[in-house]
Amino acid sequence: MDGKKIIGVGRAISDGITLATLCNIAVRDAYRGNGLGKVILDNLLKQVEGCNVTLYTHPKHIGLYEHWGFSKLKTAYVIFNEEEHYKKEGFIEA
């Protein structure tokens, strides 16, 4: 936080035993490049240590997460409410 302004967030959903999902990792533009995203992700990963971790991210950020050992998944499906938007953004194939 910067004063009362939230500058970075991340969310983990987990059963605490075998499965965890990380999503909505974001840093305000003005604060990017200072390692805040790394701190958020490192802290989330510590909280779900020992679980299989799935990460949802924007397609333009895919390469950022290979550093932590994430691999692309071949076994997932999704239903989006605004499918055309997500096709345009590159989340799903046309």
Helix or strand (DSSP H, E) at 66: none
Question: What pTM, to 2 d.p., does this model score?
Answer: 0.85
Task: Say if strands 8-14 and 19-27 run parallel, antiparallel, or are unpaired.
Answer: antiparallel
Predicted pLDDT of residue 63: 85
CATH of domain 8-89: 3.40.630.30
Count CB neighbours of 67 within 10 A: 9
On the question of pLDDT at 94 being above 80, the answer is no
Average pLDDT over residues 39-64: 94
* Residue 68 half-sphere exposure toward CB, CA atoms < 13 A: 21
pLDDT digits (tens, 9 = 90+) for 71-90: 988 888 899 999 999 999 99
